[in-house]
Amino acid sequence: MLEIRNLTKRFGDFEAVKDVSISVPDGAFLVLLGPSGCGKTTLLRMLAGLELPSAGRIEFDGTPVSDGDRNWIVDPAKRNSGLVFQSYALWPHMSVRGNVEWPLKVMKMPKAERTVRVAEVLTMLDIGQLAERYPNEISGGQQQRVAIARTIAPRPSVLLFDEPLSNLDAKLRVEMRTELMRLHRATGATTVYVTHDQIEAMTMASHVAVINHGRVQQFGTPADLVDHPETAFVATFVGTPPNNMVPVAKNGTCYKVGGRRMRLTPPVDDCMAMYRAEAVTLSDSEGETTLPMELIETSAIAGRMMVTGLRDGLRLTAIVDRIPEVRVGETVQFRLPPQPDGWFGLDGERIG
């Protein structure tokens, strides 16, 4: 349904999006995931037709809508897509009904059809009772529902969301995630959703593109990203908690792991070892495979405890059954398993 080929966007000498290529199947829920400033919103704006690519091409259902190499773009109103802004962008002088009906008027839909369609989407978003109110008379969560209803009213084949839940409180965010997934199933539209929240990404997406510094680090299903991270960035950005990345350096005939000599056989002399948090344990005493670290945090997670330590800039997290009998600021021994869960080069690429 959605084809992105060698897409690049430059602002002067700065490349915000760098040679991105993704193929998204019809009806997929694609999440663009990455830290602030990584280029994901710029990529979404190019999909919406609000930015002209500097290079590369975008196709919707086999039809070109943007071509940076030819300096050509289809008007946003003519590409059968809908964009939900982070700020909602509702017309303050129009009622809820008026906001939802407006794009249907623009496309010159007959009044009888507009009335039926507006009632349909208001019911779908459970805001029919708000039809005659104005944006300043409803809550932030209700305004978000109105913005979504306005977007889906024209039945776009592609839905675009720019961090739509970031202005909501934690409880409402969880509720709206459920509503958005239900809406996706109901409309069947191919959806592209921007967020920096990896919990949102992993719970909502059928496909995820992890982006950093304008490049797609990995594209795949949520399970692919968790089970087989292709770069150190993905390994430490995705997952709750994320994986531990420990430096391994040649030291004579042995190796230093996290700054301590350990028996380990890495594939190359200097690299990084990945350890999943559930594979790291705590020890009451120092040993060959332990790293003494300052305890900086403990928190409950799914009936177990997440324990985090810090030493010389190295941060380790373990998932354990009980809280260690030490206080925050004291030393705790983190025990590494005999073999890591993965190896990565110093360039961040996975080895093997």
Q: Which of 217, 244, 216 shows the shortest CA–CA distance to 229?
A: 217
Domain coordinates of the chain in residue numbers? 2-237, 244-351
| Phi, psi (rounded to 5 degrees) for 87 | -95, 5
Q: Which amino acid is at 144?
A: Q
pLDDT in tens, the chain (352 residues): 899 999 999 999 999 999 999 999 999 999 999 999 999 999 999 999 999 999 999 999 899 999 999 999 999 888 888 888 877 789 999 999 999 999 999 989 999 999 999 999 999 888 999 999 999 999 888 898 899 899 989 989 999 999 888 877 888 888 888 888 988 998 889 999 999 998 899 999 999 999 999 999 999 999 999 999 999 999 999 988 889 999 999 988 888 898 888 888 899 989 999 999 999 999 988 888 899 999 999 998 888 999 999 999 999 999 999 877 888 999 999 999 989 999 999 999 999 8
- Alpha carbon distance 181, 153 (integer Å): 17
- Alpha carbon distance 321, 336 (integer Å): 16
Q: Is 74 exposed, middle or buried (0-12, 13-18, 19+ CB in 10 A)?
A: middle
Q: Which residues are bridge partners to 23 per DSSP?
A: 3
Instruction: State the pLDDT at residue 275.
Output: 96
Instruction: State the pLDDT at residue 238.
Output: 92
- Alpha carbon distance 43, 7 (integer Å): 8
DSSP of 210-238, one letter per residue? Answer: EEETTEEEEEE-HHHHHHS-SBHHHHHHS
Instruction: State the pLDDT at residue 314.
Output: 94
CATH 2.40.50.100 is right for the domain spanning 244-351: yes
Asked whether the domain spanning 244-351 has the same topology as the one spanning 2-237, the reply is no
Return the number of other C-beta atoms located less than 10 Å from residue 136's C-beta.
Answer: 8
Q: Which helix (H) or strand (E) holds 180?
A: helix 170-187
- Are 79 and 60 within 8 A, CB to CB? yes
The architecture (CATH level 2) of 2-237 comes to 3-Layer(aba) Sandwich (3.40)
